[in-house]
Structure 1
């Protein structure tokens, strides 16, 4: 009887188009992982997914490096930051489940190392940002009946729009999104490439993030519908497809 008032994401699951969109994309991801992945995945496939995601996230952050340059270790500074983050990201999944604030701080420290003073690594840039991160941590710790994909979408948009850290907020937001999918069992081997889905839909990605920030409930609704499309595109970008 109290679910609607205690579940912080319950209202999102009642919005038009959201339940069906997220059920469909989860079915598609499950089919991909079951039919083409479970019996023949490898650490190399996970590494390739992470590399593709690091490149896409870096481009969204302003990098001009190609995937081939990133693969060869000759990408620009933003790409190097993104690759460094991706190489250690999956080890943070248990921390995200237990202590989201700690995990988010570590994500920023990995991404921003060498770009900001050491004392700014993993630390919110002001009291309002600290409050925003605490609220996001509480949301991640709260029981919810919302699909994990929807949780990931909200985590991503909240970090990207609030920009709580001194730098690299986009990289942090997209890394946190991927980590939610791993930690909540959607994609434990991290074979879907959500960052590539956002890059493929870049114009919609950027406009819907602005809508999330400035558009009230309507903007949030538009973002979560967009994110379902991006996750489908991210599944298409999986190395399981070759």
Structure 2
């Protein structure tokens, strides 16, 4: 294994160009007027949109107003409507989990303009923390924040069988050590962590929200998007089958599959920059875009 196992990924077809495209897009976003004094507002609004889109990727589609209500406590988890009288709406439950995960990520993000690199918890601790945020309230308490030791995950079944038993823990350990030592570009690191978490599905459910929240944090903490406002998840929500297809390609471990996944992640960042700019425009105008 090379000293930095992620270093060779830069030589895969189209990866270097995709990394450059994402970097250029994020650099351009940084100089939007809204980030001079109102970056916190832009980041907060972008976080809500990221959470909404992340939940939608998993099939939990709610309005932006509902997400805002969940973030402020104004939206109740109950009732579930005529189909689920007296019970929480499962879509709202999942969206609430995504909102909490987004908030947890934003608490770990460095401030815009902060000097030095961000210090993040070790990956296993980070994943457990994000899973508690994402899954509390709708997943069995015994499974919340705990890596699977037996049984198959309940989600992302379209990706095929997930690893089980000791293999899950071993690969998470390797992933954590790789993240701690790699000097690969932030886009590559975030894409690999995102893809590997979808492949492993280390928790009983809620893996997608955790994977996307972790990716968002790494993109910011490692300096690609210092604004913390790129809404990469929205592109995935618009084409969930394409997202799963690219993730399945990554899971094969083939050079073509991995390269296609990294390129797709870069494309989502570029698209997310345009969405962040839309939010920043709205913050400056005092009129947030409807969607």
SS of corresponding position for 1:199: helix
Q: 1:186 to 1:96 in 2, by over 3 A?
A: same
Match 2:173 to one of 123, 134, 143: 134
- 1:23 to partner: Cα distance: 0.8
The answer as to whether partners of 1:97 and 1:141 remain within 8 angstroms in 2 is no
- 1:176 to partner: Cα distance: 0.3
Where in structure 2 are there 5+ consecutive unaligned residues?
A: 76-90, 111-117, 150-165, 283-291
Structure 2 CA distance, aligned partners of 1:241 and 1:92? 25
Match 1:176 to one of 193, 203, 214: 214
Once superposed, which parts of structure 1, at least 4 consecutive aligned residues long, lie more than 6 Å away? Answer: none
Q: 1:138 to 1:38 in 2, by over 3 A?
A: same
Match 1:88 to one of 104, 107, 122: 104
Q: How does 1:142-221 map to 2 (within 5 A)?
A: 142-144=181-183, 146-214=184-252, 216-221=254-259
Structure 2 CA distance, aligned partners of 1:120 and 1:96? 27
SS of corresponding position for 2:2: helix
As a proportion of its length, which structure holds more helix? 1
Q: How many pairs were matched up?
A: 238
- In the other structure, the counterpart of 1:10 is 7
- In the other structure, the counterpart of 1:232 is 270
The range that moved more, 196-205 or 128-137, is 196-205
Q: 1:66 to 1:96 in 2, by over 3 A?
A: farther
1:64 to 2:75 alignment: no
- 1:212 to partner: Cα distance: 1.1
TM-score by length of 1: 0.90
- 1:179 to partner: Cα distance: 0.7
- 1:40 to partner: Cα distance: 3.5
RMSD: 2.1
Structure 2 CA distance, aligned partners of 1:241 and 1:129? 43
TM-score by length of 2: 0.76
- 1:181 to partner: Cα distance: 1.3
The answer as to whether partners of 1:197 and 1:234 remain within 8 angstroms in 2 is yes
